[in-house]
């Protein structure tokens, strides 16, 4: 068997003596993407423009560096899926329910009016009903990828503008299901209205199944995966959930993009949305670049030069029709011009799924605007041109609004004003102390700040730590704080101070490096275990670095104590541990409870034994005989049980805020 394996290996090696055929194309894709992003940065342009222009230049119609567009097209589909997945994570079923009116009324008006206007204009120009409806389907759709990418880069995803735009885009993705079935019917083929009805019922059933899973299945699965504390398992699970849901919806005839959005909603229903977003974002950036490049690849510069007037005329008509109809639809929803104009200009281009519809219709004998054989070329050229110009069109909104409302925007919300608060995950860190990591020292300092009445927030990757904080009513977010996107979304620069108290030095360094790129001026407090670590953290920009020679938690409290509060007063506040007692019902359970009813003053609000060992815990228990505080049996060291075994003190009481149950080790009752 060994020789057979060796022979097979040798044969494989001989067959693949050179690089794989696709490697050159992938290398070109990555190299061009990086160069386009850099040039866009230097020219102060949005990366989207750079990717689109780069796609035109390296495509078959120009330099020909990328001559296998099928490979790039496959990567681009993944890019659209991941983009919509991240958008879904930032939403939730509750927020989606709040924009249901925007989806069905706003989106329905926009798509329906576009089809009616195009049909009327087409009939007036002698286009024919089939080609007129086909053209209306093509131009009714907008690019979800481009619009949401622009909104994300401008920080308006959670703004009213972003919500209205998203509502319309979701309806367009739903309308694609009908359009895919309608186009064969326009060409005299397909299953008729009965077949369309069955397909719509199947799609609705799949969507309902996905939404049910959001409530019942995904949150517990995410809990199990997150508790492994393995970034590999977490990332693979999240990506599998995205691709699996998108594939399931695609089987039902719903677009991959909408399926990926629904997958994001599934994850948002768990408490690990921020962590999933941080893990998936690098992949989303990579594949989104492939999408925008693939759009540029489809433009034939030779065709554009030969039909420039026709292409520009088609593009201008599309912009006018879509801008007017979309603005009217948004106004009919009751929104003001401050929302209607930006949404209309953002959606003035044609969507990526229109390419698929155009190819299907052309194969069946339909043509864009009744132009026959050249209709497909005109449509592709106009679409790529409009996608490239979308950032510029969106930038016209202030000038248009100034003409419509010369007196100013009035008391309403600004176009970019977010309704989602300072963070899309609902964590307000402005003016607060923010702990990145929730290790032993952070736990001590956070509990002390709670007793001193000082606000703080915690970002942690520990499900148990997050649960403890949530039970105490503290602000907490489960996320990877070494990700720039997470810190930027938190508006970390507005924090009073940032405490990087991770128990792992390498993680502390990574978090500090990323923090300094996002918030160069924010005050940073951390700790080091060796002189070399001290010098490293100092070089990375930490202002206050505590060493083991000085008790770290006490040092954190010194640095975080507000002006006007003396150390003596803070010490007095921290020393006040309210006494605890057993209720009459608890005392009646056994003789141990009767002889140890309390009151007992807990010796600390931490597990002192765990702190001495440099360990952490899950829950705290107080001995009702002597006031000893130890960690529970779910903790690593089980110090409460050890204390009971060593001393014979049988009754303990929960030391967690809001809990008053007691337990006897000997009689094994809980009440």
pLDDT of residue 184: 81
Q: What's the mean pLDDT in 137-146?
A: 89
Work out whether the CA dihedral 196, 201, 206, 208 comes out positive or negative.
positive
pLDDT digits (tens, 9 = 90+) for 371-401: 888 888 899 899 989 988 898 899 899 889 8
pLDDT-above-70 percentage for the chain: 83
Which of 223-237, 282-296, 321-335, 420-434 is least confident?
420-434
pLDDT digits (tens, 9 = 90+) for 408-419: 444 344 444 444
Higher-pLDDT residue of 57 and 642 is: 642
pLDDT of residue 273: 75
pLDDT digits (tens, 9 = 90+) for 609-659: 776 566 778 888 999 887 788 899 988 889 999 999 888 899 999 988 778
E-assigned strand segments in 475-610: 475-478, 497-500, 524-527, 544-546
pLDDT of residue 351: 84
pLDDT digits (tens, 9 = 90+) for 570-606: 445 444 556 788 988 888 888 888 887 778 877 667 7
Whether domain 70-203+283-404 has CATH 1.20.1530.20: the reply is: yes
Report domain extents, the chain: 70-203+283-404, 433-575, 584-670
Predicted confidence (pLDDT) at residue 312 exceeds the cutoff of 90: yes
% helix / strand / coil in the chain, to the nearest 5? 65, 5, 30
Q: Which residues of 445-477 are buried (b: 16+ CB within 10 A; e: fewer)?
A: bbbbbbebebebbbbbbbbbbbebbeeeebbbb
- In angstroms, rounded to a whole number, what is the distance separating the alpha carbons of residues 131 and 187? 9
How many CA atoms, within 13 angstroms, populate the side-chain half-sphere of residue 84?
26
- In angstroms, rounded to a whole number, what is the distance separating the alpha carbons of residues 425 and 226? 18
Q: Which two tokens stand for residue 488?
A: 């930027």
Residue reference for tokens 């300094």: 516
Higher-pLDDT residue of 242 and 471 is: 242
pLDDT of residue 113: 95
pLDDT of residue 4: 44
- In angstroms, rounded to a whole number, what is the distance separating the alpha carbons of residues 655 and 661? 9
Q: What's the mean pLDDT in 127-147?
A: 90
DSSP H or E segment with residue 499: strand 497-500
DSSP H or E segment with residue 664: strand 662-664
- CA distances for 260 relative to 45, 87, 170, 209, angstroms: 28, 9, 12, 14
- Using CB atoms within 10 A of its CB, is residue 415 exposed (0-12), middle (13-18) or buried (19+)? buried
DSSP characters over 419-467: SS-SSTT----TTSEEEES--HHHHHHHHHHHHHT--EEEEES-HHHHH
pLDDT of residue 139: 94
pLDDT of residue 81: 80
Question: Angle at the Cα of 79 (from 73 to 83), degrees rounded to 5?
Answer: 150
Q: Which two tokens stand for residue 609?
A: 């034994």
pLDDT of residue 18: 63
Higher-pLDDT residue of 130 and 410 is: 130
Closest of 218, 217, 234 to residue 226, by C-alpha: 234
Q: What CATH code would you report for 433-575?
A: 3.40.50.720
3-class secondary structure per residue, 146-212 = HHHHHHHHCCCCCEHHHHHHHHHHHHHHHHHHHHHHHHHHHCCCCCHHHHHHHHHHHHHHHHHHHHH
Residue reference for tokens 């008391």: 411
pLDDT of residue 550: 44
pLDDT of residue 409: 44
pLDDT digits (tens, 9 = 90+) for 419-449: 434 445 557 788 888 888 887 667 767 766 7
Q: Are 322 and 386 in contact (CB under 8 A)?
A: no
pLDDT of residue 612: 58
pLDDT digits (tens, 9 = 90+) for 345-366: 999 999 877 887 888 888 888 9
Predicted confidence (pLDDT) at residue 239 exceeds the cutoff of 80: yes
- DSSP strand pairing (629-631 vs 620-623): antiparallel
- In angstroms, rounded to a whole number, what is the distance separating the alpha carbons of residues 508 and 485? 17
pLDDT of residue 566: 52
pLDDT of residue 116: 95
pLDDT of residue 135: 94
- In angstroms, rounded to a whole number, what is the distance separating the alpha carbons of residues 524 and 498? 5
pLDDT of residue 314: 94
Kindly indicate the confidence band of residue 557, based on its pLDDT and cuts at 50, 70 and 90.
low
Maximum distance among all alpha carbons in the chain?
A: 98
Q: What's the mean pLDDT in 61-89?
A: 75
Pick the CATH number of 584-670 from 3.10.20.340, 3.40.250.10, 3.40.50.720, 3.30.40.10: 3.30.40.10
- DSSP strand pairing (456-460 vs 433-436): parallel
Q: Which two tokens stand for residue 419?
A: 């309704």
pLDDT of residue 634: 86
What radius of gyration, in Å, describes the C-alpha atoms of the chain? 30
Mean pLDDT, the chain, rounded, equals 79
- CA distances for 8 relative to 1, 2, 59, 86, angstroms: 10, 10, 38, 43
Q: Are 620 and 630 in contact (CB under 8 A)?
A: yes
pLDDT-above-90 percentage for the chain: 15
pLDDT of residue 408: 44
DSSP 562: P
pLDDT of residue 138: 94
Which of 21-25, 48-52, 365-369 is least confident?
21-25
pLDDT digits (tens, 9 = 90+) for 158-201: 788 988 998 999 888 778 777 877 888 887 776 666 766 776 67
pLDDT digits (tens, 9 = 90+) for 251-309: 776 667 777 888 887 787 777 777 777 777 777 777 777 777 877 877 888 888 899 99
């Amino acid at each position: 068997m060994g020789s057979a394996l060796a022979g097979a290996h040798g044969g494989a090696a001989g067959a693949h003596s050179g690089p794989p055929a696709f490697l050159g194309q992938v290398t070109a894709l990555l190299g061009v993407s990086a160069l386009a992003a850099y040039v866009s940065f230097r020219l102060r342009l949005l990366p989207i423009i750079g990717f689109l222009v780069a796609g035109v230049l390296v495509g078959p119609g120009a330099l020909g560096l990328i001559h296998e567009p099928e490979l790039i097209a496959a990567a681009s589909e993944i890019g659209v899926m991941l983009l919509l997945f991240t958008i879904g994570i930032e939403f939730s079923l509750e927020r989606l329910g709040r924009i249901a009116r925007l989806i069905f009324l706003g989106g329905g008006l926009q798509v329906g009016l576009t089809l009616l206007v195009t049909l009327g204009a087409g009939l007036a120009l002698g286009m024919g009903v089939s080609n007129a409806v086909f053209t209306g389907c093509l131009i009714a759709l907008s690019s979800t990828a481009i619009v949401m990418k622009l909104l994300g880069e401008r920080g308006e995803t959670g703004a009213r503008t972003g919500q209205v735009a998203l509502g319309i885009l979701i309806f367009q993705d739903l309308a694609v299901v009908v359009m895919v079935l309608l186009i064969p019917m326009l060409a005299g083929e397909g299953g008729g209205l009965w077949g369309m009805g069955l397909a719509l019922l199947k799609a609705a059933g799949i969507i309902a199944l996905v939404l049910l899973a959001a409530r019942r299945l995904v949150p517990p699965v995410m809990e199990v995966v997150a508790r492994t504390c393995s970034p590999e398992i977490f990332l693979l699970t999240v990506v599998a959930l995205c691709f699996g849901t998108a594939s399931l919806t695609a089987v039902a005839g719903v677009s991959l993009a909408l399926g990926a959005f629904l997958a994001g909603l599934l994850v948002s229903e768990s408490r690990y949305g921020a962590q999933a977003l941080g893990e998936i974002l690098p992949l989303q950036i990579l594949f989104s670049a492939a999408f925008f490049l693939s759009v540029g690849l489809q433009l034939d510069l030779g065709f554009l030069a030969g039909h420039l007037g026709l292409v520009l005329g088609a593009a201008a008509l599309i912009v006018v029709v879509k801008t007017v109809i979309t603005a009217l639809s948004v106004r009919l929803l009751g929104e003001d011009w401050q929302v209607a104009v930006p949404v209309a200009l953002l959606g003035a281009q044609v969507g990526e799924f229109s390419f698929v519809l155009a190819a299907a219709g052309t194969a069946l004998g339909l043509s864009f605007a009744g132009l026959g054989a050249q209709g497909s070329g005109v449509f592709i050229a106009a679409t790529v041109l409009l996608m490239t110009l979308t950032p510029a069109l969106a930038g016209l909104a202030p000038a248009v609004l100034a003409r419509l409302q010369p007196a100013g925007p009035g008391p309403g919300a600004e176009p970019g004003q977010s309704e989602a608060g300072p963070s899309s995950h609902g964590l307000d860190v402005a003016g607060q102390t923010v702990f990145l990591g929730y290790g032993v020292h952070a736990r001590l300092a956070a509990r002390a700040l709670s007793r001193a009445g000082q606000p703080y927030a915690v970002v942690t990757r520990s499900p148990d730590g997050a649960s403890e904080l949530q039970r105490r009513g503290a602000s907490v977010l489960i996320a990877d704080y070494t990700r720039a996107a997470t810190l930027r979304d938190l508006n970390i620069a507005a924090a009073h101070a940032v405490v990087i108290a991770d128990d792992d030095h390498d993680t502390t360094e990574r978090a500090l490096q990323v923090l300094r790129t996002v918030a160069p001026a924010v005050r940073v407090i951390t700790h080091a275990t060796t002189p070399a670590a001290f010098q490293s953290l100092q070089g990375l920009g930490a202002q206050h670095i505590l060493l083991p020679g000085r008790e770290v938690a006490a040092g954190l409290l010194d640095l975080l104590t507000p002006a006007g509060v003396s150390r003596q007063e803070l010490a007095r506040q921290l020393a006040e541990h309210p006494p605890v007692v057993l209720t009459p019902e608890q005392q009646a359970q056994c003789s141990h409870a009767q002889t140890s009813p309390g009151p007992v003053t807990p010796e600390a609000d931490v597990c002192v034994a765990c702190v001495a060992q440099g360990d952490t815990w899950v829950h705290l228990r107080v001995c009702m005989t002597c006031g000893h505080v130890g960690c529970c049996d779910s903790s690593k060291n089980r110090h409460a049980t050890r204390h009971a075994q060593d001393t014979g003190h049988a009754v303990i009481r929960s030391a967690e805020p809001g809990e008053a149950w007691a337990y006897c080790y000997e009689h094994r009752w809980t009440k």
